[in-house]
Amino acid sequence: MNIAWFLIVSALMFCLGAVGVLVRRNPLVILLCLELMLNAGNLALLGFSRMWGDGDGQIFALIVMVVAACEVAIGLGIIVALYRRRLPVDVDELRELHG
């Protein structure tokens, strides 16, 4: 099995995720697209791990999953807090940190 195929799929998923981050306005969906990108990375890691034959890539992928979980927890917490403060849950409206 040629690893390159997996890597192509991974690249495609990554780019789809990137486009999604740039295009969507709902922060929830942006987080979902971030998950896409992270998963694409996971796939690439596992592909390379298979190529080299040791388990380093798998451990790396596990840790990435842990990080993703933490980030989702915090991100969703922020979105819920926004919603409860009656702020618009829309990244185009939340732009106070500007110059």
Partner 1 sequence: MWFFFFLFSIVALAGAVGVVALRNPFYSVLALVTHLIALALLFLLLEAQFVAVAQIVVYAGAVMVLYVFVVAYVGGGDQPELLSRVSAKQRTLAVVFGLAIFVELAIALLGTALKAVDTHGAKLATDYGSPAQIGDLLLTRFLLPFELASFLLLVAAVGAVGLAGRRGGVGPDHEVFTDTVRPQGTGTMAEGVGRRRDGHP
Partner 2 sequence: MSIQTAAWLVLALPLAGSLKLALGFRFWRGAMAGWIGTAAVGLAFVFALVTLVKLLDLPAEQRHVASSLWDLANVGGVHIRLGIYIDPLSTLMILVVSGVSTLIHLYSVGYMRSDEGYTRFFSYLNFFVFSMLLLVLAGNLALLIVGWAFVGAASYFLISFWYRRSTATNAGIKAFVINVIGDVGLVLGTFFIFRRMGVLDYGPLFHGVQHAFDKNEASLVAGMILILVGAFAKSAQIPFHTWLPDAMEGPTPVSSLIHAATMVTAGVYLIGRLHPLFEWAPTAADVGAVVGALTLLVAGTIGLAVTDLKRVIAYSTMSQIGYMIMGVSAAAYTGGFFHLTTHAFFKALLFMSAGSVIAAMGNEQSLDKISGFRKAMPFTFRCFLVGGLALSAFPLMSGFFSKDDLLYEVGQRGGWYYGLYAAGYIGSLFTVIYTWRMIFRTFWGEPCEQALALEHGHLYHAPHPFNPANGEVEDTGVGFPGPDHHIAEQTWQMKAAMSALALLSIAGGLLLLPFESLEPLRKFLEPTFADSIVAHPKNTGLETVGLVLSSVIAVAGIAFAYATWVTNAGGAARWQQRFAPLHNLFVNKWYFDELIDLAVVRPLAAFGRWGRDTFERIVVSGALVGGTSGIVKSGSAAVRGLQTGLLRGYAGLVVGGMFAVVLYFLLRAA
Residue 69 binding partner 2, by CB under 8 A: no
Q: Going along the chain, which residue ranges are E strands? A: none
Q: In angstroms, rounded to a whole number, what is the distance separating the alpha carbons of residues 23 and 92?
A: 11
Residue 54 binding partner 2, by CB under 8 A: no
- Closest distance between partner 1 and the C-beta of residue 69, in Å? 5
Question: From the list partner 1, partner 2, none, which binds 41 (C-beta under 5 to 8 Å, kind-based)?
Answer: none
Q: Could you identify the residue written with the tokens 């940190």?
A: 97
Q: In angstroms, rounded to a whole number, what is the distance separating the alpha carbons of residues 18 and 73?
A: 21
- Closest distance between partner 1 and the C-beta of residue 53, in Å? 3
Q: In angstroms, rounded to a whole number, what is the distance separating the alpha carbons of residues 42 and 35?
A: 10
Question: From the list partner 1, partner 2, none, which binds 78 (C-beta under 5 to 8 Å, kind-based)?
Answer: partner 1
Which residue ranges make up the site for partner 2 (CB under 8 A)? Answer: 18, 21-23, 25, 30, 91-92, 94-99
